[in-house]
A = this chain, B = another copy of it.
């Protein structure tokens, strides 16, 4: 006989009755309470009854009496739009699990009402805290409801002081990208930035400049150009790149790099021999399957999610600012 039977679920009382003991005793053996002295024979009987009846503790009752759940809420603005959000969820999920927590996931698609509802739902489930995440790194306004519970921002940040946040280290990432080119012996390294303002735009450029300076290379402003952050943008910038005589180029993201590939191929310019190309984001489907495979810098989405729950649970120290930034590691393939 197991819990799978249609009838009323097996409770602790049922187990107690079957084992001929009190519910208190059952509770003790089931939870393996440290300070509980249970006779070996009794323990055996209880365990047998548990197995026999297919007993499962009722988490809601446990939560009620303990006055707090083992839930962590995760609100994401775009589960579907990109594989990125999935990685954040995955990291958060693994880390939460590791600490005995369960993730309550809500998707808002940027909809304020959905967001508010999601937050309310989480509050009502007395979550331990909530992780508020966005699919691309940006500044956000804190939904008022969010502050009603313990919270940490992931892949985004607020201007309000003291709001903990976990974000990718864009500056370090920009440095890493440029270093990939420098290490390959390049001296004229272009930087194709995006036209749209963002922490990524600013940070990666700073990192690029840093790396060049650190390597004793001049920073030629003419080698820094802006374009739309997509394939078309990359394609369009190729003539300028060629004209300026760069031997390597760091792109704002992998999609831009993909467009650069297109433009280069059209002109018979080989990658990486004639021109080395470096991407950003490490968007698997693009980067790994381009020919040649694209060297790039990874956005640490999994780690962002994982760090988010660690910060929430107070396992990771945050700097005084409350902001922790996660490194963006290089991914060496064949384009640089």
- Residues of A participating in the B interface, judged by any CB pair closer than 8 Å: 2-4, 9, 54, 56-61, 63-64, 69, 79-80, 82-83, 85-87, 89-90, 93-94, 97, 102-107, 114, 117, 120-121, 123-126, 147-149, 230-231, 255, 258, 262, 265, 283, 285-286, 289, 291, 302
Contacts and interface: CB of A to CB of B under 8 A. Distances in A.
A147 B63 contact: no
Interface of A is mostly: helix
Contacts of A56: 120, 123-124, 148
Contact of A124 (B58, B79, B285): B58
Contacts of A148: 2-4, 54, 56
A232 B114 CA distance: 43
The CB with the most chain B CB atoms within 10 A, among A2, A4, A125, A148, is that of A125
Contacts of A97: 106, 114, 117
Contacts of A4: 147-149
Contact of A283 (B87, B103, B125, B285): B285
A35 to B, nearest CB: 24
Given A64-B61, A285-B283, A105 B105 contact: yes
A124 B262 CA distance: 54
A152 B230 CA distance: 39
Nearest to A57: B124
A148 to B, nearest CB: 5
Given A93-B107, A230-B289, 16 more contacts: A2-B148, A9-B126, A58-B126, A59-B124, A59-B126, A61-B64, A80-B83, A80-B90, A83-B83, A83-B285, A86-B86, A89-B89, A89-B105, A102-B104, A258-B289, A285-B285
A94 B79 CA distance: 11
A331 B85 CA distance: 24
A302 B60 contact: no
A285 B288 CA distance: 12
Contacts of A121: 59, 102
A8 to B, nearest CB: 8
Nearest to A235: B291
Nearest to A3: B148
